[in-house]
Amino acid sequence: MKANLPIRAIPEEIASRESVFVVCFCFLFSIAPHFRHLPLWVSGFVIIALAWRISQNLDRVPALSKWILAPLVLIGGISVFAEYWTVVGRDAGLALLAVMASFKFLETRNHRDLLILIFLCYFLIATHFLFSQSILTAVLMLITLIVITTTLITINQRDDNVPIVSRFKIGGRMVAMSIPLMLILFILVPRIPGPLWGITSEQRAGVTGLSNSMSPGKISNLILSNEVAFRVEFKNEVPAQNKLYWRGPVMAMFNGRLWYQSKRESIDRLNILVFEEPVEYTVTLEANGERWLLALDIPTQLVEESVLTADYQLTSNKEINDLRRYTLKSRLNYQLGLQESADYLKLTSNFPVRNNPRTVALGRDLAQRYENPQDIVKHGLAMFRDQDFVYTLNPPILRDNEVDRFLFDSKRGFCENYAGSFALLMRTAGIPARVVTGYQGGEYNSVGDYLIVRQSDAHAWTEVWLKDRGWVRVDPTAAVSPGRIEQGLDDALSSKNSGFRIKNRSPIFGNLLYSWDNLQHGWNDWVLDYDHRKQSNFLRDLEVGIDDWGDMILALVAMMLFVTGGYWIISWFRERPSKPEPHEIYFNQLLKKLQKLGLEKPPSEDTRAFLQRVQSRGFRQPDQVVKIINLYNLIKYGPDKADALSLSELRMLVNSIRI
């Protein structure tokens, strides 16, 4: 036999117009949410290419030849490179993908090309998750997945008469059936800690959060964002609002305008005296693209893959580009850094002498006036409290000697103005001081029993070093606007920007929002943060004896087989042949009887022709057969449903046939 393998034998097949059209739509649907990430020219190009392909489908425009497309592809690639100066990484990669897929549409002719484009759409879903992994994105992508799968089914169905609703039903059912399989794989496929290759930092462009330097305006920009910075579950009760100082980057360096971080090594031993039991809590930190892990007040414990610097800032070993979850212990009552190094104390007393002459003069004056440094601190705070300082989100923009202008002229500022100018004032008076940035407060979610800390809770305060007390937190903002610390930002500002705190809403709506946030927190905790650590913990807690990779793969295969076997049984049950109706049973009895006489009725033969054959063969009871066939046709094709009487008549007639 000549071996023609059927797989290879199918000739290249030209895609039908309908298929091209649905795939165009599918691609547009999959890429549309990316239009806000793509440069305008790329989005425009995608739309023009698809419009061209659809017009080509309608015979309005000709197909572009290879000789036109090839140089255009080259220009497209170069343009992407010119835009990003790279073609790898998330943003450039996405742009390249969009441009090249559009070209693929222009040269698509075969059924096979369409399949490739649909798989590309599936791939596009993954790229969306590099931008956002929120619940809403997930829901949108689930819909996209159904659309793509339905498109795939449509072009493989090769039947233009199937209504679109049943196509979506088939696609939706397939996606729904894959969810249990996905869950099994998600839980059981052994996770490998990443990354496998380097991720460039642009991947986190646009993430809001604290910065590694502080200048006026930086934090007040953050305040406008209601994005969640992190969520905290306390093991015991939540400390009072005015104790909730979340420590972020510590700035010990000042250049006259900008506060920034010094390079400090990690500490080898804690330089702290404690007076209370530690507070234990778990933080779920949103990606911030930086290295700092936020901690309550003074953390006295390390978390994995991190160091504690000498200024008690918890720093991750790598950038936090994904959700990070860690459990910590912190002290709220302590004496910190009593034995501080002389070098560091000198560093934290430095200031540029030429800038801010009025502040420098005031500091020197204070140093002469008071013997006890504590009195200088008190004087500074009193100055903020007693003079007409205003706490505002929109302070006037100041140039040159900003601290001078703030302290003596405008007297209007936000926490960073207060923290920065207070630290400088202390330094000029001879007291070591540094600025700590982070978050203050948070909103308690009663539905999920955890604290939500948003970017709008960003704050800056000061720490001064006193000889017998070590580093002491002084929050000058509290002196100006005590409400900011006691009740939170909104009460302090009462501006129109205060809408995003849930507690400001009506109780019912507020509860809904708390539930929604709780859902997001669970999503973060269970879906986004499910990594190799969580996996092994989860499997251990299940106590089903899945300990290593071998067990996991075994369980995985077994469960996959179980689920697909279940599907197989359900579909077998649903699709099993329906029971023949009574008249069919009787008719088959007749056929069987006639078969014994050598009169066989092939399914294709119609009853009239068969009847003629029966008659021509000289069957003894031709009238009986005629009656049966007429009655059978009446029941089968007649307008009324078969009634019991005609059915029993049919049965009797069939029984009366004698062979």
Does 531 participate in binding other proteins (rule CB under 8 A)? Answer: yes
Q: How many other C-beta atoms are found inside a 10 Å radius of the C-beta of residue 447?
A: 18
Beta 412-413 vs 390-391: how paired, if at all? parallel
d(Cα 330, Cα 243) in Å, to the nearest integer?
12
- Scanning 115-123, 220-228, 417-425, 428-436 for contacts with other proteins by CB under 8 A, the matching segment is 115-123
Does 100 participate in binding other proteins (rule CB under 8 A)? Answer: no
Does 197 participate in binding other proteins (rule CB under 8 A)? Answer: yes
Q: Which is nearer to other proteins, 175 or 425 (CB)?
A: 175
Least distance (Å) between residue 181 CB and other proteins? 3
Residue from the set 48, 186, 304, 659 that interacts with other proteins by CB under 8 A: 186
Least distance (Å) between residue 277 CB and other proteins? 35
Task: Measure Cα distances from 628 to 5, 595, 645 in Å.
Answer: 50, 16, 14
**What tokens does 227 get?**
């994005």
Least distance (Å) between residue 178 CB and other proteins? 3
Size of the site for other proteins (CB under 8 A): 71
Residue from the set 177, 270, 345, 611 that interacts with other proteins by CB under 8 A: 177
For residue 577, what is the DSSP state?
Answer: P
Residue from the set 28, 64, 170, 383 that interacts with other proteins by CB under 8 A: 170
Helix (H, G, I), strand (E, B) or coil at 417: helix
Helix (H, G, I), strand (E, B) or coil at 550: helix
Least distance (Å) between residue 321 CB and other proteins? 8
- Scanning 1-9, 23-31, 98-106, 424-432 for contacts with other proteins by CB under 8 A, the matching segment is 1-9
Q: Which is nearer to other proteins, 78 or 570 (CB)?
A: 570
Residue from the set 1, 82, 397, 645 that interacts with other proteins by CB under 8 A: 1
Closest Cα to residue 474, out of 490, 458, 485? 485
Does 185 participate in binding other proteins (rule CB under 8 A)? Answer: yes
Which residues ranging from 2 to 41 are in contact with other proteins (CB under 8 A)?
Answer: 2, 4, 6-7, 9-11
Does 165 participate in binding other proteins (rule CB under 8 A)? Answer: no
d(Cα 212, Cα 290) in Å, to the nearest integer?
9
Does 528 participate in binding other proteins (rule CB under 8 A)? Answer: yes
Q: How many other C-beta atoms are found inside a 10 Å radius of the C-beta of residue 208?
A: 16
Least distance (Å) between residue 336 CB and other proteins? 35
The residues pairing with 254 across neighbouring beta strands, listed in sequence order, are 259
x-or-dash string of contact with other proteins, 591-610, rule CB under 8 A: ------------xx------
Closest Cα to residue 281, out of 269, 293, 289? 293
For residue 545, what is the DSSP state?
Answer: S
Least distance (Å) between residue 303 CB and other proteins? 17
Q: Which is nearer to other proteins, 166 or 350 (CB)?
A: 166
Helix (H, G, I), strand (E, B) or coil at 555: helix
**What tokens does 605 get?**
């033969």
d(Cα 145, Cα 152) in Å, to the nearest integer?
10
d(Cα 639, Cα 204) in Å, to the nearest integer?
69
Beta 279-285 vs 228-234: how paired, if at all? antiparallel
Least distance (Å) between residue 485 CB and other proteins? 36
Residues in the chain: 659
Q: Which is nearer to other proteins, 424 or 546 (CB)?
A: 546
Which residues ranging from 550 to 569 are in contact with other proteins (CB under 8 A)?
Answer: 560, 564, 567-568
Q: Which is nearer to other proteins, 154 or 355 (CB)?
A: 154
Contact 199, 321 (CB under 8 A): yes
Does 206 participate in binding other proteins (rule CB under 8 A)? Answer: no
Q: Which is nearer to other proteins, 40 or 196 (CB)?
A: 196
Least distance (Å) between residue 560 CB and other proteins? 7
Q: Which is nearer to other proteins, 311 or 525 (CB)?
A: 525
The position carrying tokens 């669970």 is 522
Which residues ranging from 119 to 158 are in contact with other proteins (CB under 8 A)?
Answer: 119, 122-123, 125-126, 129-130, 133, 137-138, 141, 145, 149, 152-153, 155-158
Please work out, in degrees rounded to the nearest 5, the angle formed at the alpha carbon of residue 348 by the alpha carbons of 347 and 354: 85
**What tokens does 649 get?**
């008549």
d(Cα 133, Cα 129) in Å, to the nearest integer?
5
Does 549 participate in binding other proteins (rule CB under 8 A)? Answer: no
Does 346 participate in binding other proteins (rule CB under 8 A)? Answer: no
Residue from the set 14, 68, 164, 179 that interacts with other proteins by CB under 8 A: 179
Least distance (Å) between residue 273 CB and other proteins? 39
Which H helix or E strand runs over 143? helix 135-157
Edge-to-edge strand list for the sheet holding 450-454: 298-299, 324-331, 279-285, 228-234, 450-454, 443-445
Q: Which is nearer to other proteins, 509 or 567 (CB)?
A: 567
